[in-house]
Amino acid sequence: MLRPTMSHVKAGAPSLHGKIVLVTGASSGIGHAIALRCVRAGADVAVTYRNNHAGTDRILAEARAIGRRAVNFKVDVASEEQIAELSRKLVEEYGRVDAWINNAGADVLTGEGATLGRREKLDLLLSVDLRGTILASWAAVALMKKQPDGGCVINMSWDRVAQGLAGENPQLFSAVKGGVLGFSKSLARSVAPHIRVNVLGPGWIETAFADVVEPRFKERVKESIPLRRWGTPDDVAEAAVFLASDAAAFLTGQMINVNGGDVM
């Protein structure tokens, strides 16, 4: 195996060299991109999945190929017991965690999730996206309080929580992801100055949802975005690495909208 070096970090990019980063929900989409980008920025990583073990195996393979350490854990973030077990395993494996990124979320837009009734969707989003984020954030803070250098927590909201969007699914997302944002701001004030807490607000990102929408809708969205394209998971990952790095040492309680200017 190669020894860890800085040669895989892009020149001028924020570095995570020597840091331990946890990414929940990393088997696909945005979480997968964040985990890979952290590895390439020099971090050792821990990643979680709920069903797609193979998705996180690909992260482990790339990490180990360039000399980084990587482990994956099967976790349902809605379970307080499983979050506690994740914390225990993190300490057992690495001894600490420098950045805890709460990306795991319920998919109610594609696959079986899209067939659920609105009450079922609401319950699922509240359980995974909101309750899971809160429980995991508390677990992260409990670990980081014991660390001399503290750490940072990054939570996932939605750019539209400040503006709204018509539709039943947007109503649900606004409520749940708005809760994530409000909680994160209060948590940031509660745990400063030892721990930083920030938020990412992705906009229209080319994840599984973008693959199933009508081409005309996708084109209308693109034309409505000032930068004239949908975002990619890598766009969100770049912002996540910045927030996890020392380059963001004076940022807490903030949300970065990764949306091409769609919401300003």
Q: What is the pLDDT of residues 47-81, one digit of tens each?
A: 999 989 999 999 999 999 999 999 999 999 999 99
Q: Round to whole Å and give the CA distance between 10 and 8.
A: 6
CA distances from 63 to 36, 41, 72, 75 (A): 8, 11, 12, 20
**pLDDT tens for each residue of 157-202:** 999 998 999 999 999 999 999 999 999 999 999 999 999 999 999 9
- The 10s digit of each residue's pLDDT in 84-114 is 999 999 999 999 999 999 999 999 999 999 9
- Which structure tokens are listed for 238? 């770049």
Query: Is the pLDDT confidence value at 5 over 50?
Result: no
- Give the per-residue pLDDT at 162: 87
pTM over 0.85: yes
Report pLDDT digits (tens) over 10-24. 666 799 999 999 999
**pLDDT at residue 6 tops 90:** no
Is 81 exposed, middle or buried (CB count within 10 Å of its CB: 0-12, 13-18, 19+)? exposed
Phi then psi dihedrals of residue 79, to 5 deg = -100, 120
List pLDDT tens digits, range 112-166: 999 999 999 999 999 999 999 999 999 999 999 999 999 999 999 999 998 999 9
| Mean pLDDT over the full length of the chain | 95
What are the structure tokens assigned to 253, written together?
């309680």
Q: How much is the average pLDDT of 11-39?
A: 94
Q: What secondary structure, in 3-state letters, does the chain show?
A: CCCCCCCCCCCCCCCCCCCEEEECCCCCHHHHHHHHHHHHCCCEEEEEECCCHHHHHHHHHHHHHCCCCEEEEECCCCCHHHHHHHHHHHHHHHCCCCEEEECCCCCCCCHHHHHCCHHHHHHHHHHHHHHHHHHHHHHHHHHHCCCCCCEEEEEECCHHHHCCCCCHHHHHHHHHHHHHHHHHHHHHHHHCCCEEEEEEEECCECCHHHHHCCHHHHHHHHHHCCCCCCECHHHHHHHHHHHHCHHHCCCCCCEEEECCCCCC
pLDDT surpasses 60 at 1: no
What are the residue boundaries of the structural domains of the chain, listed by start?
Answer: 20-258
Say what the pLDDT of residue 112 is: 93
Q: What is the pLDDT of residue 10?
A: 61
User: Bigger pLDDT: 230 or 212?
Assistant: 230
Q: In CATH, what class is 20-258?
A: alpha beta
Residue 222 tokens, joined: 């693109």
